[in-house]
Structure 1
Amino acid sequence: MPFNLSLSEREAAGLKRSLPVIERVGGRQLWANGKGYLNFAGNDYLGLSQAPELIKAADMAAREFGVGAVASPLVVGHQAVHRTLESELADWLGLEAVMLFSSGFSANQALIKALLSKEHILWQDKLNHASLQEAGLLSPARMQRFAHNDMAALAARLKPQSGLIVSEGVFSMDGDQGDWQGLSELAEQSGNWLMIDDAHGLGVLGQQGRGTLSEQGVAPTKVRIHMGTFGKALGVSGAFIGGSQALIDYLHNHARSYVYSTHLPPPQAAAILAAVRLVQTADDKRELLQQRIAQFRQGAAQLPFSLMPSCTAIQPLVIGDEQLTLQLADRLRERGCWVGAIRPPTVPKGSARLRITLSAAHSQADIAALLSALQESVKSEA
């Protein structure tokens, strides 16, 4: 059958994906097949997935409210813990209102499909996440992609008051940041709405961890739509969309994946709420993360591969060849380091990479062990 042929072709090209079974995972370590590894593949940037405060909050909420929300938010699923979380998120980020979603993928798809019509143009950075790109393809709007972080290219193509410009705070595969000063100026000049997907910036960048806009000195009011996730620096899962009260009221009525999905479980919402409170005072963890990033980049500069210019927790080492990327990931696992091997179509052809992610939970010795394993793995494949 056609899909069997497709899978065999992908396997031969080193592009077939498989699903590893992980027995336990945290910010610093994971266990698989009875063996422990240093974890350099997750997004637990501050190590909060194992924080006692989050575990306690989830446990207490489960005992008080049960483990499920039992219905969609607009039926009986929206509880006091959800409302408190939305209120504190809005206050933290300087937004009028916020609504919760089960995932960033769901939030992005709901927003774009609900907001845009065939009269609109959706302007997207070419490196935007798959959830944004797919939402654009499924929406009735016309999607136009502009060269990555190229403000001149976007300006040359923008039409006034034609729709929505979308980019990311921190790009998930490259680790670089969007140009939010440039984007906000273009949006203001053209009269188009602007949306940020700050999944990988929230919690680790900016004052009190408010994210990429805070890091770059851009006021939240310059961006009409804010999306962030709870499964990265906040250590849980789920997502939110924030903006004006009018926007959130509109989405309550038109975002189908929100209207017709069971709401976040109360223990999950309680854990996220604990994470939001913890992140605001986590300057020590953010400073520690920056130290680990600097240590890694200094050591990785000696490797015979291209280390992308990222100052965030995402540190991509571009290998190029898909099979060699897989082999290096295997050699690293043999040496106790779990690193993600990222290949097309997630990244462009010829740019397969080891996507190395760092956490404040990593020690100096952990980073040294990774650098040593990289050096030895490179030699073994030479």
Structure 2
Amino acid sequence: MIWDELQSALDALQRDGLKRNRRTLESPCGPVAQVAGRTLISFCSNDYLGLANDPALVAAACAGARTWGVGSGASHLVSGHFAAHATLEEKLAAFTGLARALLFSTGYMANLGIVPALVGRGDAVFADRLNHASLIDAVQLARADSQRYPHGDLAALEKLLAASPARRKLILSDAVFSMDGDLAPLPGLLALAERFDAWLVIDDAHGFGVLGPQGRGSLAHFHLPHSRRLVYMGTLGKAAGAAGAFVAGDATVIEWLAQRARTYLFTTAGSPLIACALAASLDLITQGDARRQHLMQLIAQLRDGLAATRWRLLPSPTAIQPVIIGDNHEALRIAGALYERGLWVPAIRPPTVPKGTARLRVSLTAAHSEAQLALLVDALRELA
């Protein structure tokens, strides 16, 4: 019976230490979480600047609801594009220094829309092997020839590009890799895109708001020159503290995406009250150097605190700090021991990460205090 097959597969996930368990928060997003009546220090969220429950964003959302209501009622190209959306797109374009921006409901939907709109059958996509699942799925939807290069390996990518007879080429990469926390070699990727007449699509979900001058993202971090072939995606549910995503780039490219990206065309526009909150968020991001400086201090505190232990940290300069465990069950055991101590750190296992590299994914935010992080460091040192 098909139901028995599903149960058998679920039992296998449990046996292999791969079953995921959902917890329900009873408090707003922040460094302290209420879960099942317990108070926990959370190192789980991607709210890197601590803006998800910021009073300025809450006030902007409330004002937006009073002005625009709650729902948009239609897709952007029908009747769901409000003045609040237009204002946010203009602010995002100015913030990134790119010609035009286009809002999407989520980063996943943005990636699924971008790649198939730019390439298809007879074309080729060259993707970093550690790209996010949304980028992997986007390549499958595009039906282009898929070629994956070893993580961050520009020499291997160059060879693949040189050997490809495809009519159109697209290089696809995260800017900050969500499970390792390291940065893609963006200057080298852009140089190869220019040399081989390729698109360069960058997913900056974890760099936007955190990296670069005034948090303007990974492109600004690397001081990349403007290029018409560069398509930049940033999410708005992480450092920006709300929800949604955007794509920015050359005006002609963005207009093409508005006309051909199916995940833009065929879905209801995001709530205008969220657009109002995000407009306020951009102001706080721009003025957020103190938040980013504190975040960098926390990163150094964690790395220094665990340096003399058996725990292996990946070389990440970002808010994502993976502690490699290896075995799935051991990762769950360590995460469980932390949880009993009131510290919530997720255990990340395959297929999210390669087999044999199960890890604790410590996500730091500017809302964490040094004292809260010290509790985590002390607990990990004790468990080591």
> Using the alignment, how far apart are the partners of 2:356 and 2:23 within structure 1?
25
Q: Which residue is equivalent to 1:84?
A: 87
Identity across aligned pairs (percent)? 46
Give per-residue Cα distances to partners, 1:266-320, cap 9 Å, x unaligned: 1111111111111011111111100010011100212212100001000000000
Q: Which residue is equivalent to 1:316?
A: 322
SS at match of 1:49: coil
> Using the alignment, how far apart are the partners of 2:215 and 2:228 within structure 1?
18
Q: Which residue is equivalent to 1:277?
A: 283
Asked if 1:192 is matched to 2:198, the reply is: yes
> Using the alignment, how far apart are the partners of 2:269 and 2:110 within structure 1?
13
> Using the alignment, how far apart are the partners of 2:309 and 2:116 within structure 1?
44
> Using the alignment, how far apart are the partners of 1:223 and 1:197 within structure 2?
14
Matched to 1:273, the amino acid is A
SS at match of 1:26: coil
> Using the alignment, how far apart are the partners of 1:210 and 1:146 within structure 2?
28
> Using the alignment, how far apart are the partners of 1:375 and 1:336 within structure 2?
15
Residues 69, 100 of structure 1: CA spacing in aligned structure 2 closer, same or farther, 3 A cutoff?
same
Matched to 1:256, the amino acid is R
SS at match of 1:268: helix
SS at match of 1:272: helix
1:134 Cα deviation after fit? 1.1
Q: Which residue is equivalent to 1:297?
A: 303
For residues 213-224 of structure 1, what are the structure 2 equivalents within 5 Å? 213-221=219-227, 224=230
Matched to 1:188, the amino acid is E
Residues 295, 222 of structure 1: CA spacing in aligned structure 2 closer, same or farther, 3 A cutoff?
farther
> Using the alignment, how far apart are the partners of 1:218 and 1:139 within structure 2?
27
Give per-residue Cα distances to partners, 1:196-239, cap 9 Å, x unaligned: 10000000100111111111221243752000001111111110
Counterpart of 2:211 (choices 194, 205, 209) is: 205
Query: Stretches of 4+ moved more than 3 A in 1?
Result: 159-162
> Using the alignment, how far apart are the partners of 1:254 and 1:217 within structure 2?
30
Q: Which residue is equivalent to 1:43?
A: 46
> Using the alignment, how far apart are the partners of 2:13 and 2:235 within structure 1?
31
SS at match of 1:228: strand
Asked if 1:137 is matched to 2:140, the reply is: yes
Assess if the C-alpha contact under 8 Å between 2:228 and 2:249 holds in 1. Answer: no
Give per-residue Cα distances to partners, 1:40-59, cap 9 Å, x unaligned: 01101110112111000000
Asked if 1:63 is matched to 2:32, the reply is: no
1:256 Cα deviation after fit? 1.4
Asked if 1:261 is matched to 2:267, the reply is: yes
Assess if the C-alpha contact under 8 Å between 1:213 and 1:220 holds in 2. Answer: no
> Using the alignment, how far apart are the partners of 1:301 and 1:181 within structure 2?
30
Deviates more, 1:242-251 or 1:179-188: 242-251
Q: Which residue is equivalent to 1:350?
A: 356
SS at match of 1:240: strand
Matched to 1:97, the amino acid is R
Assess if the C-alpha contact under 8 Å between 2:323 and 2:359 holds in 1. Answer: yes
Asked if 1:362 is matched to 2:368, the reply is: yes
Q: Which residue is equivalent to 2:176?
A: 170
Q: Which residue is equivalent to 1:23?
A: 26
Asked if 1:251 is matched to 2:257, the reply is: yes
Deviates more, 1:2-11 or 1:20-29: 20-29
How does the TM-score come out when normalised to structure 1? 0.97
Matched to 2:349, the amino acid is R
Counterpart of 1:229 (choices 235, 239, 248) is: 235
> Using the alignment, how far apart are the partners of 1:122 and 1:30 within structure 2?
41
Matched to 2:43, the amino acid is F
For residues 147-166 of structure 1, what are the structure 2 equivalents within 5 Å? 147-158=150-161, 159=164, 162-166=168-172
> Using the alignment, how far apart are the partners of 1:189 and 1:339 within structure 2?
43
> Using the alignment, how far apart are the partners of 1:85 and 1:364 within structure 2?
34
> Using the alignment, how far apart are the partners of 1:155 and 1:257 within structure 2?
31
The size of the alignment, in residue pairs, is 378
> Using the alignment, how far apart are the partners of 1:124 and 1:248 within structure 2?
21
> Using the alignment, how far apart are the partners of 1:163 and 1:322 within structure 2?
38
C-alpha RMSD over aligned residues: 1.2
> Using the alignment, how far apart are the partners of 2:28 and 2:330 within structure 1?
26
Give per-residue Cα distances to partners, 1:138-166, cap 9 Å, x unaligned: 22211110000000010111037631001
How does the TM-score come out when normalised to structure 2? 0.96
> Using the alignment, how far apart are the partners of 2:221 and 2:249 within structure 1?
19
Residues 203, 27 of structure 1: CA spacing in aligned structure 2 closer, same or farther, 3 A cutoff?
same
> Using the alignment, how far apart are the partners of 2:153 and 2:346 within structure 1?
28
> Using the alignment, how far apart are the partners of 2:306 and 2:235 within structure 1?
29
Counterpart of 2:102 (choices 99, 103, 111) is: 99
SS at match of 2:52: helix
Deviates more, 1:298-307 or 1:338-347: 298-307
Q: Which residue is equivalent to 2:118?
A: 115
> Using the alignment, how far apart are the partners of 2:228 and 2:330 within structure 1?
44
Give per-residue Cα distances to partners, 1:305-346, cap 9 Å, x unaligned: 210000100000000000010011111111111101100000
Give per-residue Cα distances to partners, 1:159-198, cap 9 Å, x unaligned: 3763100111110000000001110111111111111100
